[in-house]
């Protein structure tokens, strides 16, 4: 397995691998969060890969692997392998498949570190990039360092092309100058990341959502190594593009009108209602002049535009506000996980031997 994982290691120079402890970062605790779904072949190798990359990490760290309701034995395989590695590897098992965003949020909720790093569990992200990204995050006083798969090892038509189109669309919609928003390898300050809640398919737009609570100037992009998938099957396809488009519309709304939804729905509602009112006023004038308007289609159009505009305003605002309250509330989680014993404050951290 070690030989296979190093097939793309020639890209290390280009992506700037420097090893753990290149420049001593300020003291911190690190949590690495990895959601996995039907990746039984990669369960053990992923844990070993992270363990090898962070074995000499100078500060306490933990690995949190979230089994997103896998049906191929990924959960038991993770638990068996984690038991042989150490208590700093924690496995959370969700009761069904809630999709990647909810699984990532479950791991973030369980993380205890000051810095949280997220990554995929398919072995394409290289955990040796983690130390360098965390060092940059802390030394440059950033809130996010996102990975940029500059030399991406994926197929052109099903992965690279849809991703390039989505990234361009997202950049135009959000104004964030990120080259690779879809890369799961990201390093965050935990206190900033916890200011937002992830649901739906929001994991693709985390930098955009973070822009609602912190300045884009406190975000950076770092080239990272990307490896070809060797085991298991990709869970992505062209259907992802459609989900990205719908999520992009929702994100655009919340970024621009999240704190003032009445401006959006009120504007549309007022335009529609005004159109209906003008139609009805015109028909009233014609009626006063002796014209018959009872059977004219414009009467029905004007009436329904007026009522529809009012409903668009009231129902839309209430619905969007209720959704935000539901998901932002700490009692409304977008996932359900199996009960496990949580480690004590000083337990289950991997610490470098003195």
Whether residue 169 is predicted with pLDDT greater than 70 in this model: the reply is no
CA distances (Å), origin 82, targets 119, 278, 284: 17, 69, 77
Give the span between the Cα atoms of 83 and 126, in whole angstroms: 23
Cα dihedral 215, 217, 218, 219 sign: positive
Tokens 């150490």, located at residue: 86
In this predicted structure, the answer to whether residue 245 has a pLDDT above a threshold of 80 is: no
Residue 158 DSSP label: I
> Which residue(s) pair with 188 in the sheet?
116, 144
Look up tokens 């004038």; give the residue.
285
Q: What is the CATH number of domain 2-256?
A: 3.90.550.10
Closest to 194 in 3D by CA, of 114, 100, 90, 103: 114
The domain ranges of the chain are 2-256, 259-328
Separation of alpha carbons 327 and 331, rounded Å: 8
The span from the CA of 153 to the CA of 132, in Å, is 21
Cα 91 to Cα 80: distance, rounded to the nearest angstrom: 10
Neighbours of 235 (CB within 10 A): 14
Q: How far apart are CA 231 and CA 40, in angstroms?
A: 9
- Residue 341: pLDDT band (50, 70, 90) is low
Q: Are strands 144-148 and 186-189 parallel, antiparallel or unpaired?
A: antiparallel
What's the farthest any 2 CA atoms get from each other in the chain? 98
| 160 phi, psi to nearest 5 deg | -70, -50
Q: Say if residue 164's pLDDT is above 60.
A: yes
Task: Tell me the torsion sign for CA atoms 99, 100, 105, 106.
Answer: positive
Residue 232's pLDDT is what? 58
Q: What is the pLDDT of residues 92-144, one digit of tens each?
A: 999 999 988 899 999 999 999 999 999 998 888 999 999 999 999 999 999 99
Please compute the mean of the pLDDT values over residues 57-86 and round it to a whole number. Answer: 95
Between CA 190 and CA 112 the distance in angstroms is 9
> Token pair 């994100």 is at which residue?
251
Question: Does the pLDDT of residue 181 top 80, yes or no?
Answer: no
Distance CA 57, CA 74 (A): 27
* Backbone φ and ψ of 243, nearest 5°: -65, -35
* Predicted local confidence at residue 339, as pLDDT: 63
Q: Return the closest-CA partner of residue 45 out of 8, 15, 6.
A: 6
Query: What tokens does 246 get?
Result: 């719908």
* Angle (deg, nearest 10), helices 130-139 and 40-54: 50
- Could you give the count of Cα atoms lying within 13 Å of 76 in the half-sphere of its Cβ? 3
Residue 198 in contact with residue 334, Cβ under 8 Å? Answer: yes
Mean pLDDT of the residues in the chain: 80
% of the chain exceeding 70 in pLDDT: 71
Report the candidate in 151, 167, 162, 159 with the shortest Cα–Cα distance to residue 226: 151
Percentage of the chain surpassing pLDDT 90?
Answer: 37
């Amino acid at each position: 397995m070690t030989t296979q994982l190093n097939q793309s290691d020639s890209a290390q120079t280009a992506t700037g691998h420097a090893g753990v402890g290149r420049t001593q970062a300020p003291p911190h605790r690190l949590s690495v969060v990895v959601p996995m779904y039907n990746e039984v072949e990669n369960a053990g190798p992923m844990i070993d890969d992270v363990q090898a990359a962070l074995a000499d990490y100078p500060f306490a760290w933990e690995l949190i692997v979230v089994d997103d309701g896998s049906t191929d034995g990924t959960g038991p395989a993770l638990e068996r392998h984690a038991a042989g590695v150490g208590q700093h590897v924690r496995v959370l098992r969700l009761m069904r498949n809630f999709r990647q965003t909810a699984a990532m949020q479950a791991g973030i909720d369980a993380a205890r570190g000051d810095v949280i790093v997220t990554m995929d569990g398919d072995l394409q992200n290289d955990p040796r990039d983690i130390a360098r990204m965390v060092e940059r995050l802390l030394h440059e006083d950033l809130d996010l360092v996102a990975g940029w798969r500059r030399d991406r090892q994926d197929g052109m038509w099903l992965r690279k092309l849809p991703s390039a189109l989505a990234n361009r669309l997202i950049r135009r919609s959000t104004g964030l100058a990120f080259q690779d928003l879809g890369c799961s390898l990201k390093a965050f300050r935990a206190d900033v990341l916890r200011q937002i809640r992830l649901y739906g398919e929001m994991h693709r737009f985390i930098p955009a959502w973070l822009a609602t609570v912190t300045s884009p100037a406190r975000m950076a992009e770092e080239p990272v190594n990307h490896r070809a998938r060797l085991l298991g099957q990709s869970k992505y396809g062209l259907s992802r593009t459609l989900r990205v488009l719908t999520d992009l519309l929702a994100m655009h709304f919340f970024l621009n009108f999240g704190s003032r939804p009445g401006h959006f729905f009120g504007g549309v509602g007022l335009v529609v209602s005004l159109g209906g009112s003008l139609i009805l006023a015109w028909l009233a004038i014609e009626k006063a002049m002796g014209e018959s308007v009872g059977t004219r289609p414009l009467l029905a159009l004007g009436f329904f535009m007026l009522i529809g505009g009012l409903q668009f305003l009231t129902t839309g605002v209430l619905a969007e506000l209720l959704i935000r309250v539901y998901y932002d509330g700490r009692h409304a989680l977008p996932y359900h996980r199996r009960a496990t014993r949580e480690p004590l404050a000083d337990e289950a951290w991997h610490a470098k031997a003195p």
